[in-house]
Amino acid sequence: MPLINFAKREITYKLVYYGTGLGGKTTNLKYIHGQVNQACRGEMISLATETERTLFFDFMPLELDLVNGFRARIAIYTVPGQEEYDLSRKQILRGCDGIIFVADSSSVRQDANLESLKNMRENLIFNKLKVEEIPWILQYNKRDLADAIPLETLQQNLNQAGVPYFEACALEGLGVFATLKAIIKEMVNRTRAPK
């Protein structure tokens, strides 16, 4: 459930990018941050170490048009892909309103994708959230790789739930905004007043 501030007439949605380490979560955020008008975005905070691209999360508030007379903000986070940061993943998922699962299309990363998807489901349960009740989308990233798994195989292995999916190459920005717009639409539609 989004955070609603009646005094400020503001709704804040929490969007989490989930997936394996080095799968493209941070690359998505960097591309979005670089393309969005400065008046509509906040500062991107990235916590990194020498060996890992994102240790904890990225946070980027993004402002949208009005929703039911309220200004809407999207707080975007990424989880660390490394297994040793599972506690951080659990914390970041707490209270999320939507998830983009970024799958690495490389043939050598398929087991890691499956493990990360399983971990996402377990961490949602830990937070007393049901994957069936939270909008989530699959983004098949790195589609430009020579060893990219065929789309049909990715769908068969990762999308038993039949959620919306997008092909992407986050480094080039391909599919990044299509994925983002689709999840935002799903999150906002859950809070709009019926017509």
Integer CA distances (angstroms), 67 to 2, 44, 77, 149, in order: 12, 24, 21, 39
Per-residue pLDDT of the chain (195 residues; tens, 9 = 90+): 788 888 988 888 999 999 998 899 989 988 988 888 777 777 777 766 555 554 444 456 667 777 778 888 888 888 887 777 788 889 999 999 999 999 999 999 999 999 999 999 999 999 999 888 899 999 999 999 999 999 999 999 999 999 999 999 999 999 999 999 999 999 988 876 554
Q: Which run of H or of E encompasses 121?
A: helix 110-126
Phi-psi bin for 106: left (phi > 0), alpha (psi -120 to 50), beta? beta
For the chain, give me the number of helices (H) and strands (E)?
5, 8
pLDDT of residue 195: 47
First to last CA, the chain: 20
pLDDT of residue 55: 41
pLDDT of residue 57: 46
E strand spans, 33-132: 45-46, 58-67, 70-78, 98-104
pLDDT of residue 42: 76
